[in-house]
Chains A and B, each alone.
Chain A
Amino acid sequence: MTDIRLTIACERLLAPYGVDLNDLRNTLDQVMEHQVDFADLYLQSRRRESWSLENSQVTGGTFSVDHGFGLRASELDQSAFAYSQQITREQLQKAALSVRSIAGKGRNARVAIPEPRALMHSSYGTDDPLPVLASAAKVALLERIEQLACALDPRVSRAGATLELTHEVMMVMRHDGRLAADVRPLLMLHMWVVVEHNGRRETASGGMGGRNGFEHIEMSLVEAEVRRVVDSALTNLDAIQAPSGQLPVVLASGWPGMLLHEAMGHGFEGDFNRVGSSVYASQMDKTVAAPGVTIVDDATVPGARGSLNIDDEGEPGQRTTLIENGVLRSYMHDDLNARLMGQKVTGNGRRQSYAHLPMPRMTNTFMQPGPYAAEEIIASVKHGVYLADLGSGQVDIVSGQFSFQSALAWLIEDGRLTTPIRGATLTGSGPQTLRQISMVGNDLALDRGLAICGKAGQSVPVGVGQPTLKIDGLVVGGTA
C-alpha cells in the first residue's frame, strides 16, 4: 500500500474505531448476498475551522468535526442507502441489512480482495491546512483586511471577513474490489464591506480560495482583492436604475462564467439526460452552441476549488470536453448514469458528504478563449449592459430557463462603458443563449475560488470560468 492518501485514510477513518479493510469487505459481501448489481461503501472525515471578523473584532471562532460512512446498494436504476456517524462493525452490519433489501436474495458473491488503485495524477497536496500556522496568524489576517478596507475610503462604514479551512479525508470501496482514497484541503477567505454616503447604502463582497493551505495566501493578492471589493461598493453608490427588457450583454471574464454553469452545465449532467428531463437529452453530436464555443469540465486544474484527484466513487478526476466548437461531445457522468446509458464515466460522481448519495456534478467548468480583445467586444455594442461581476445564479434544467444577479454593471452606450447600474436579475433560455454567443474574448480566467453549487439539496465546491463574452440578447430586470 504505497498510496500516501490511502495510508492517511486508513489512519483517520478506520484505526481510531477499531475497524479495518476486512470489515469493509465483509460489509460489501453481506450486501452482495442479495441480487444487487452495484454497491459501494464511502467513509469520510471532515474537520473545519473558521474565524470571522465583524465590528472590528474577531469574535467568532468555530471548529467542527464530522465523520461517518454511507453504504449504497443498486439494482439497475434503483438505489437504497443508509449512513451512520458511527464507524463501527455493528453500524456497518446494520446498514448492510437495510440496503440489500433493494434486491431479492439468492447470490453468493464474495468481494475480491481490494486492490488499491494507483493515483495517476495529483491536483493538490495532502497538507492539513488547519494547524499550519497558529490561530493568532489567522486572526491577524482578518484584522488586516478590515483595517485595509476602512483606510481606503471614509465612506466604508463596515467591513468583515471570514476564513474557513477544511481538511477532508475520504475512502471508497466498491463491490468489485476497487479501493481508493483522497485527502482534500480546502481554503476560503471571504470579505464584505458596507459603504454609506448621503443616506444611501450599498454592499459588495469577494475573496479567494482553493484546494490549498493557509500558507498559500499571498498578502499582495489579498490587498488587491480588498481594493476591488471597496471599489465595487463605491461604484454602486453612484449607480442608476437598471434598464428593463431584452438587451445585448457583455460578460466579463472569470466569475461570470457562472452563466455557463447554469445556462448549460447542469443540462449536461448525466442523470437529467438519462431520464430525458434535460433540454439537451438526445442532442449528442449535434450543434448546440455558436461556432467557436468550446466548453470543458476539468477536475485537474492545480489547486482550483472544484478540482478532484478522484471523484467520490474513486474515478480519477479528468478533463472532459462538453462542447467542441459548438457541437455537444459529452455529458458528465457518475458511475450509475454512465452504466445505464452505456457511456464512459467522466469522474463527475460527487456527493456533499457520507450522508448523501453521489450524483453527476460539475468540477471546474469553463469556456476556452476566442480571438477578441475585451475592448473590441465592448466597442461592438451600441446600447447594452456590461456585467463586471455577478451574485448568484439558478437554472430550471427542464425548460433551460436560467437567471443570475448582477453585482457590478455598467451601461454600454456607443461602444463605451458609461454609467454604473444597480443590481438586477438577468434571465434567458440556456439553449438560445448558447447560440447567441457572438464574440468570445482571448482573456480566459477562472473565478476567485468561492463557488458553491447546489443540486437536489446537496452543496459541493466548484470552479467556473470564461473569457469575456458577448450575448446578443438577455432579459434585464431593471426598474427603468
Chain B
Amino acid sequence: MSTSLEQAPAQLAAAAEQLLDYARQSGASDAQVLLSSGHGLSLNLRQGRLRARRAEGHNSVSLTVYRGQRQGTTHSTDFSAASLADMARAACDIAAHTAQDHCAGLPDASLMTQAPLDLQLHHPWAVSAEEAQALAARIEQGISDQGPQVQSDGAFVSAYEACSFLANSRGFAHGYAQSSHALSANALASDGQRRHLSHWRSHERYSERLQMPEQIGARAASKALAYLDEQPLCTGRYRVLFDPDMAISLLMDFANAASGRALYTHGSYLRDRLGSQVMAEHLSLSEDPFQLAGLGSAPFDSDGLSGQRRRVVEHGQLQGYFLSTYSGRRLGLPSTGNANGPYNLSLHSQLTRDSDDWPAMLAQLDRGLLVAELAGEGTHLINGDYSRSAKGFWVENGVITHAVTGITIAGNLNSLLGDILAVGNDVVTRGHFSSGSVLIAHMQIGGR
C-alpha cells in the first residue's frame, strides 16, 4: 500500500472546514460533516488461481445541516469544491421540507470530546500483491494438509487503512486513522455424498496479531470435515451449548435490542426495561470503548461524544442502552456515546472458573446439542421471539458423537439469556464482541 494516508488528515480537515462554510452560506444554523478516505488491497485465491485482486480506494463525505430543528442530509464521494457547494445547497433544500423535530440538533458543546485519546488503532500493513498471494497460498496449504476429503474454496487476504474526520459548527474538529486486516479461509469437505463448506477468519488492527495462515486453513478444514459424519436428529426439547462464536451471535442480538432506534420506534422487547432482570443473575456485560487497538474501540462517536467504560448488564440487570444524542433525546436519556453502536463488549459470569475450558463445557452439557452455526434473521427484536436454522454436533456423556444439520432451534431471546447456566473461559473475540461458550438449560429443536 502507498503512504498517501499521511496527508489525508490535513486534506480532510480542510474539506470539512470548507463544507461547513458552504452550509452556513446556504442558510444552515448548525451543521456537521463526516469525511473519510481509505485504501487497501484485497485478494482472493482459489486452488492456486487468483480469482480477484482488488486495489481498494474509498472516499466519502456526509453533511447534516440544521435549520432550527429541521434537518437534511447529503452524502457524496466527491471532495471537489463545486461538489461540496452542491451538497450544502441540496441539504438545506431538504431541510426546508422536513418537519420540526424537537430532538434534532447537535449535542451541547460541553459534552463533546475535548481531547480524543490515541487508542493505537492505526497500524498500516505494507503488504504487496505478491506477498498477499503467498499468504493466501499458505492458507490453502493449511487446508489441503488436512487430507484428501477437503479442498480450498477460497483463501482471502485483505489490508486496509482509513482516516476519518468529524467537524461541526460548534467547534468540534478531530480525526483519527485506523487499520483493519484479515486473513480467512473457505474449506469444502466432501465424501462423495455429503458436502460441507466451513469458514475461518482472523481479523486484527495489527497484521502481526493475525493467526498463522496455515492455522486458519486448518481450522476451516477441520470444521468442514467434522460435518461429514452427520446423522438426523428427532424433534424435541434438549439441553444446548452455544460455542463461543454462536454465543457472540446472542450478544449481537441483545445489543441490537438495546440500541436507540429499536427502542424509540417501539421495536424492541427491552423498551422500558432499565433496571430490570434481562439475563441470568450471575451474568454481566461490560463495554470498553478505549481498549488499545481493539476492533470495537473509538475515541468518539459520530456525534463527537466519547463512550464510557461501563457495565451494560450487571447481576443480570439492565444498566444502560446504546444511545446517540438523537435517540437519547427521543427516550429522555443522555447519550451514551454510542451513535455508531456498541464498543468492545464482553460477557462474564460470576460462576466461571479457570477450569471451565472447552472440554469442561462439553462435560457440563453432558447430553444435548452443541450449536456451531446459525443462519437466518430469526430474532424478532420486538418481542424476543427466536427461531433460527442451525448446524452443530450431538454430544453424549460430554463427548461429540456426530454432526447434526438441517435443524431449527427456537425459544425467546429474553428467556434464553435468563436460562444461561454457565459461561466458559474458552473466550473468543470477534470484532466488537467477546464471549466464552454458553450453556442453556433447554431449547426446542425442530428436526426429523
Contacts and interface: CB of A to CB of B under 8 A. Distances in A.
Interface residues on B, range: 35 or more
A399 B195 contact: yes
Interface stretch (B51-59, B106-114, B211-219): B51-59
Given A68-B77, A479-B387, A196 B52 contact: no
Contact of B410 (A99, A200, A477): A477
Interface residues of A, number: 76
Interface in B41-90: 46, 49-55, 57-59, 71-78, 83, 90
Contacts of B446: 244-246, 427, 475-478
Interface string B348-386: 000000000000000000000000000111101011010
A81 B52 contact: yes
A424 B406 contact: no
A403 B188 CA distance: 20
A398 B195 CA distance: 6
B411 interface: yes
B383 A202 contact: yes
Contacts of A202: 382-383
A122 interface: no
A135 interface: yes
Given A61-B72, A63-B90, A158-B266, A396 B98 contact: no
A158 B376 contact: no
A275 B378 CA distance: 31
B387 A478 contact: yes
A63 B74 contact: yes
A158 B389 CA distance: 30
A153 B407 CA distance: 38
A321 to B, nearest CB: 27
Interface string A400-439: 0101110000000000000000111111110000000000
A338 interface: no
Contacts of B195: 279, 398-399
A226 to B, nearest CB: 17
For A54, A135, A245, the residue with the greatest tally of chain B CB atoms inside 10 Å of its CB is: A245
B54 A81 contact: yes
A424 B408 contact: yes
B115 interface: no
A425 B235 CA distance: 14
B50 A102 contact: yes
Contacts of A476: 408, 446
Nearest to B42: A81
Contacts of A68: 77
B153 interface: yes
Q: Which residue among B129, B194, B266 has the maximum number of chain A CB atoms within 10 Å of its CB? A: B266
A477 B408 contact: yes
Nearest to A243: B446
A383 B255 CA distance: 38
Interface stretch (A32-40, A72-80, A104-112, A303-311): A72-80
Given A59-B104, A78-B49, A158-B265, A425 B405 contact: no
A478 B73 CA distance: 42
A459 to B, nearest CB: 15
B71 A59 contact: yes
Contacts of A57: 98-101
Contacts of B266: 157-158, 194, 196, 201
Contacts of A60: 71, 73, 98
Nearest to A68: B77
Contacts of A393: 376
Interface stretch (A82-90, A216-224, A327-335): A82-90
B325 to A, nearest CB: 14
B91 A63 contact: yes
B447 interface: yes
Interface in A446-480: 475-480
A67 B83 CA distance: 12
A334 B169 CA distance: 49
Given A57-B98, A277-B153, A279-B195, 12 more contacts: A59-B71, A62-B73, A66-B76, A80-B50, A81-B54, A83-B54, A357-B54, A392-B376, A396-B197, A398-B196, A403-B408, A426-B408
23 contacts: A55-B265, A61-B95, A62-B74, A78-B51, A80-B50, A81-B55, A82-B57, A157-B266, A158-B266, A194-B265, A201-B383, A203-B380, A245-B447, A245-B448, A246-B235, A393-B376, A396-B197, A401-B389, A401-B391, A425-B410, A477-B387, A479-B410, A479-B411
